[in-house]
Amino acid sequence: MWWMPTTYQSTTSVSAIGRLRRTAPGGMQAPRSATIRRRRRDATIEQDTPHPALAGLDALVGEWTIGLGAPADQSAAGGGWVSFAWLSGGRFLIQRWGSEAPEFPDGIAVIGADPASGGLAQHYFDSRGVQRVYGMSLAGGVWRLWRDGEDFSQRFTGTFGDDGTTIAGTWEKAGDSGAWEHDFDMSYVKSR
């Protein structure tokens, strides 16, 4: 066992008061720190109602293929995949993606209720080591992401198709001047 020198073989005995003690051949007891106690724990886990802002996110759940338009300042285009799945408990939606084009990083995002705004937030992490927090909304068939950064600001608007299996989206950015310009297009097609 993990607490005994390798030359011992162990047996297990349970005392009348419910303690599980490990003993070595010849009746030698395990050190006190190696005693394992079993306790019955009757606990009730209270489930509260998920935040109302999470209600529309089921429209994203599943696997999608991505079509990537070229960034405004580059001539590359590519595609990739994205998946959305609820974390156990239904409080956070996990988004993972990968891209065939090296200009577009792979990444993960955690989407959940934002107590400060009462809406949604997307916590973004990518393969370049970039971390960002976006505000987010999903209502009336339109998915929006936005952030105001010190280096530049970004916003995304994606519109769901009538059957909910496609999203046509556009990313925009604004630099020091504050003027918004097209960055790239991104389309989603639900595959599962």
Residue 34 phi, psi dihedral angles, 5° rounding: -95, 0
User: E strand or H helix at 182, and its extent?
Assistant: strand 180-190
What stretch(es) of the chain map to CATH 2.40.128.20?
Answer: 55-190
At 6, the amino acid letter reads T
* 41, 61, 63, 100, 111 from 92: Cα distances, Å: 28, 12, 17, 27, 5
pLDDT tens, residue by residue, 38-90: 444 444 444 466 788 898 999 999 999 998 764 443 344 578 999 999 999 99
Rounded to the nearest 10°, the torsion over CA 149, 152, 153, 156 is -120
CATH class of 55-190: mainly beta
CA distance 187 to 167: 6
CA distance 49 to 9: 51
DSSP state of 63: E
CA distance 99 to 97: 7
Share of the chain above pLDDT 90, in %: 57
- Report the DSSP beta bridge partners of residue 131: 125
Lookup: tokens for 108: 């993960």
At 167, the amino acid letter reads I
pLDDT exceeds 90 at position 140:
yes
pLDDT number for residue 40:
41
Band the pLDDT of 5: cuts 50, 70, 90: very low
| Nearest of 155, 162, 158 to residue 188 by alpha carbon | 158
Average pLDDT over residues 123-150: 96
CA distance 121 to 66: 22
* 32, 94, 124 from 134: Cα distances, Å: 51, 14, 8
